[in-house]
Structure 1
């Protein structure tokens, strides 16, 4: 034994090879935390002092190689100044450089996922052999950061600047075939041949058959680009990436600038530039928001695991009501391996549901994400039926009939008599009270809401709505089923609109008030899209459906009349009265034409302006700040109310609900993170500025208390 630590061991194996093995104690994965970095420093020093070592083989004792840096340790480090963060990164790079500078050839055997710092460790070695099951990449941009352990320096010199820009700015996990094609690894072999192949290649390097010294020097030297080539590569990339990110995500641009700055420098100077770029990004609100989202996601996964311990398995599911929504639910369940009955009262509904599932599967086959045989297997897991004959062994049912309480109550009462007593029944309702629907059920403890978002196959969120009588076992079972479907479940308590719609409709109310006072809906859309939403409020209402919006708005007005019952006729109501329902019938705030790909394309329609003219003031220009404030304040106050009333447990879950449910800008982190960024004292002052607009703009007493005490949601 050359070295033994808590994360790394070094042992001599055959032919003078020292095996440096990552195997972090007490964790299921390897990651670069403080312990691992300290161990790496000590392990490298031990190898340096051992004259028997002829080569170093880097391996992993776990199914993954290294998943990256331990993000839970970032918090304290990122509170420091830019200079201190850059110094912290530089200290880590001293360790990687010492490994790279070992006087013997080094080779990394990549057995599983190697991401971020894990892949940067691979790049620090002279040679790399990869399992055909492994994936590698530098996903730091997804956290609003860029590589900090040498990724922007070594990768361009290994695979070329063009490829490196793509890898770093996309932040993708790259499969073995792409890694080999781009030159990021030297060989790809079957998983069971990895160690044998790695040892053989390292022995060739030791024997002088592979010029590992030349490879190493190339990594440490300047980039092989002349001034014109450098300008073409980096300036073109900056322009393209700026267009893609719309200036909202600074990390990819900063990474390109850093690579450009370091192109004419050797390793050590280049690493200094990287450390400064990393530190600069670490202090941005975007990185704080995106790291926060990552942590929120980890919390949701942990909660799902806890629920999973008490959940009853869903071995067979059912959906009532086929059509597009039912077909989407059936597709998602079957795709992820849970067989599902799809029941409707009419053959036409069944055909529509099967057609939807078939269309979605055909797209996967077309994109080579699935083989035709696999498509057949998935379709075989969907069993269409017009009766309840085979419902005696169903574990979980999703009712997805029309959004009408009378119809739903009738269907649920009938269903309850057709299934086993222990079967869990859920309603895919977007607004109707779960307690109302449960009122006449014999087993309300087995009933709850399971709100899918449309389109089901694309939207990651499922709201799990707990009624007053819903059992914890029922909640756990449905959380586990949603997770098995590949969705992100968030558990909320029953109230009008639940979480997402309850928070969304005050935003629409702010928009309605702007239109009433003379704002142009196109101008509002542009401002809110620039703010970061995928679509502005008028466009979103068209996509959701004006009729659906009017119905949901009525539910919200009845539930919260003090602030959501309008004292004026809105432009949305005018659209509804004139049967302009949005994309579904081709006209709403905008008119919709079909583009070359067969998708709806919005175009301006003067008729919409003419129709709403009687209910809006004379056209007036508003500055962007006022438009944002008038739309965002009601949404943010409502999320605060949901937290205070216990509708949702944590700010983490509240923010994730908005990110996944309505496309809240990820780089802003969610409504709670947004208020933290603005500062609660500043936010409350902004609310007071618009107090004349009514109760929608009145902050809660708790918000005022937070403002006075300097409190925030995330500390």
Structure 2
């Protein structure tokens, strides 16, 4: 044995060939501080050995190396810029020392080689991948750039254009694509990976491959003349500006670093990379995106644990109530291979539900993501029916009828009388109390909420609502079924609006008050989309939700939380609803919807909406963008805080992911709690107090004041 550590080891094999094997104690290999240190020690031991003629780098696990240990980043990035620079500089030099070994090296890549794992492969002279390999530099998804030499080696290996596409999008490559672009030298079957790597290494040792020339290419300036460089980097900047926008600084920072380093050798280029990495590490965007990654890991881990504990296996599902929502749920189950009965009382509704599934599949075929076989399989998994008897064999029944408690109660009662004693019954209600609906059932322990978001096939979140009498077995089984349907489950406790809608309606109320005070709804939308980063401003979102739905839901919220969510006099939503301006569903709301001459959808601020609102609103005036953001976001933040304090949601991380996946909360802000903490709890308290006179939705809890005063974090409690 040449070297043995807890994460990797090196030993000499035949004919002077050594192997460096990554085999961490956990389920995957990743670069934490310990592993980086061991890599450096192993490199020095290989260099000093004397009998080594070449090195194969491989993994003993199903994946090569999944990247850096993100859990260390939060602590690292709280250090000063000079301390982070020292860390990343020293770490990248470990990869340099490996690259400089006095004999050829080859990476045998299986499974994921991402981030630092990809950079390890790039530090080798050759790379061979198996057919399971997925190679890439996804640091941009964390608001960062590669920090261990990726921005230096990859452009010199595959050209700056290809390298910048890899890095600015973060999209990983399969082996054959990486081979076509020149990032790997061969792709082989998995059982031939080590043998193929060994043969290439032997050929390099024997002088059949010029490994020193390959290495020199990675340590020299880019081979671009002045015109080529100008064209390449100006095109890259234009593409990044169009795709990433101003809220995500990492992609443009990468273009700048690669551009400035183009004429430099490895040492100078790496210094620029190190500096760029540090600058990004201190941005709010990186803090937010790393927070999302960690929160997502928490949510996924929790979901897997609950699913593993499930004692009931869902083999067949049923959806009660077809239409667009029911059809969407049925499609989602069917496309993931779960047979589903779609039951309704009217044939036209069944036709609409099947039509919704067919429409989603047809769009998938147009984009090349769905073939005829998948379309047939999905539609064959859906059984439409007008009879209750058709759901007798279903293990999971999802009620998705009209949002009316009496109707839902009747349907749930009839369902319980029809299905097996151990079948699980869920309601897709978006606002009605699960505890009140459970009163219709003899066995409320097998009942919970299962709230999908529209459009079902695109929205990742399913809120699973635990009632007072819901059993843990029921929750676990529904979590497992949700995961099988390809969705992200987040379990919350029952309350009016549950989590997502409960925090959304104070946001809508803040918007309505702002319009009544004279704000132009189109101007508000522009600020919330372009400045804050929502995919839709509040007026546009209300048009998509539907004025009838929003008005009804606000009534439910007013009944459930009267102390804060009483209906607003002359609410613009109610005014438009009263004039049958329902939004997108009938083409007219705050905006008029239509199509242009080419058939593309159009959206124009509606003169009719301004006219209808005119008698109820103050004279139009321009509001500062910061005031617009504050008046909408403080109510949402306050209600999210109340949900956490009341135990409706278990952690700030889960609340953040629920809003990200259920509402499209801007990822570069990290979620509602990350947004509050980035602002600083002290600053949030001051800002909320400034608007406290506007009513209860702006007024803080004692809990948040105590958190701010004691310097605590909502994420320390997770």
Q: TM-score, normalised by structure 2?
A: 0.97
Please give the alpha-carbon distance, in whole angstroms, between the structure 1 residues aligned to 2:534 and 2:491: 24
1:621 is matched with 622
Deviation at 1:380, TM superposition (A): 2.1
1:213-252 → structure 2 map (5 Å cutoff): 213-252=212-251
2:511 is matched with 511
Please give the alpha-carbon distance, in whole angstroms, between the structure 2 residues aligned to 1:623 and 1:42: 57
* 2:402 and 2:408 in contact (8 A); partners too: yes
1:249-328 → structure 2 map (5 Å cutoff): 249-311=248-310, 312-328=312-328
* 2:412 and 2:440 in contact (8 A); partners too: no
1:546 is matched with 547
Deviation at 1:694, TM superposition (A): 1.1
Between 196-205 and 643-652, the greater mean CA deviation after superposition: 196-205
* 1:583 and 1:600 in contact (8 A); partners too: no
Segments of 5+ residues of structure 2 without an aligned counterpart are none
1:499 is matched with 499
2:638 is matched with 637
Between 31-40 and 503-512, the greater mean CA deviation after superposition: 31-40
Between 557-566 and 654-663, the greater mean CA deviation after superposition: 557-566
* 1:55 and 1:206 in contact (8 A); partners too: yes
Deviation at 1:45, TM superposition (A): 1.2
**2:206 is the alignment partner of 1:207:** yes
Question: How many pairs were matched up?
Answer: 714
Instruction: String of CA shifts for 1:497-522, please: whole Å, max 9, x gaps.
Output: 10000000100000000100000001
1:221-620 → structure 2 map (5 Å cutoff): 221-311=220-310, 312-529=312-529, 530-594=531-595, 600-620=601-621
| DSSP-derived class of the 1:21 partner | strand
1:663 is matched with 664
1:142 is matched with 141
Instruction: String of CA shifts for 1:527-565, please: whole Å, max 9, x gaps.
Output: 111211011000110111111111111111111222211
Deviation at 1:370, TM superposition (A): 3.6
1:65 is matched with 64
1:678 is matched with 679
Deviation at 1:181, TM superposition (A): 1.7
1:710 is matched with 711
**2:166 is the alignment partner of 1:167:** yes
Please give the alpha-carbon distance, in whole angstroms, between the structure 2 residues aligned to 1:245 and 1:510: 29
Please give the alpha-carbon distance, in whole angstroms, between the structure 2 residues aligned to 1:711 and 1:76: 16
Please give the alpha-carbon distance, in whole angstroms, between the structure 1 residues aligned to 2:622 and 2:244: 27
Between 596-605 and 631-640, the greater mean CA deviation after superposition: 596-605
| DSSP-derived class of the 1:496 partner | coil
Please give the alpha-carbon distance, in whole angstroms, between the structure 1 residues aligned to 2:692 and 2:10: 66
Deviation at 1:597, TM superposition (A): 7.7
| DSSP-derived class of the 1:240 partner | helix
Between 181-190 and 624-633, the greater mean CA deviation after superposition: 181-190
Please give the alpha-carbon distance, in whole angstroms, between the structure 1 residues aligned to 2:17 and 2:545: 62
Instruction: String of CA shifts for 1:27-52, please: whole Å, max 9, x gaps.
Output: 11111112211221111112111222
1:680-695 → structure 2 map (5 Å cutoff): 680-695=681-696
* 1:590 and 1:608 in contact (8 A); partners too: yes
* 1:676 and 1:714 in contact (8 A); partners too: no
* 2:157 and 2:218 in contact (8 A); partners too: yes
Deviation at 1:604, TM superposition (A): 2.5
1:121 is matched with 120
1:649 is matched with 650
Instruction: Give the direction of change, closer, same or farther, for the CA distance of 1:421–1:599 in structure 2 (3 Å limit).
Output: farther
| DSSP-derived class of the 1:389 partner | helix
Instruction: Give the direction of change, closer, same or farther, for the CA distance of 1:596–1:472 in structure 2 (3 Å limit).
Output: farther
Deviation at 1:466, TM superposition (A): 0.7
Between 298-307 and 632-641, the greater mean CA deviation after superposition: 298-307
Between 326-335 and 187-196, the greater mean CA deviation after superposition: 187-196
Deviation at 1:599, TM superposition (A): 5.6
Instruction: Give the direction of change, closer, same or farther, for the CA distance of 1:597–1:35 in structure 2 (3 Å limit).
Output: farther
Instruction: String of CA shifts for 1:85-137, please: whole Å, max 9, x gaps.
Output: 11101111121111111111111111111100000001111111111221111
Please give the alpha-carbon distance, in whole angstroms, between the structure 2 residues aligned to 1:355 and 1:10: 59
User: Please, what is the CA RMSD of the aligned residues?
Assistant: 1.4
1:158 is matched with 157
| DSSP-derived class of the 1:417 partner | helix
Deviation at 1:249, TM superposition (A): 0.7
Please give the alpha-carbon distance, in whole angstroms, between the structure 2 residues aligned to 1:328 and 1:440: 26
Between 330-339 and 401-410, the greater mean CA deviation after superposition: 330-339
1:35 is matched with 34
| DSSP-derived class of the 1:49 partner | helix
Q: TM-score, normalised by structure 1?
A: 0.98
Between 704-713 and 552-561, the greater mean CA deviation after superposition: 704-713
Instruction: Give the direction of change, closer, same or farther, for the CA distance of 1:13–1:361 in structure 2 (3 Å limit).
Output: farther
Segments of 5+ residues of structure 1 without an aligned counterpart are none
Between 559-568 and 220-229, the greater mean CA deviation after superposition: 559-568
Instruction: Give the direction of change, closer, same or farther, for the CA distance of 1:104–1:454 in structure 2 (3 Å limit).
Output: same
Instruction: Give the direction of change, closer, same or farther, for the CA distance of 1:656–1:132 in structure 2 (3 Å limit).
Output: same
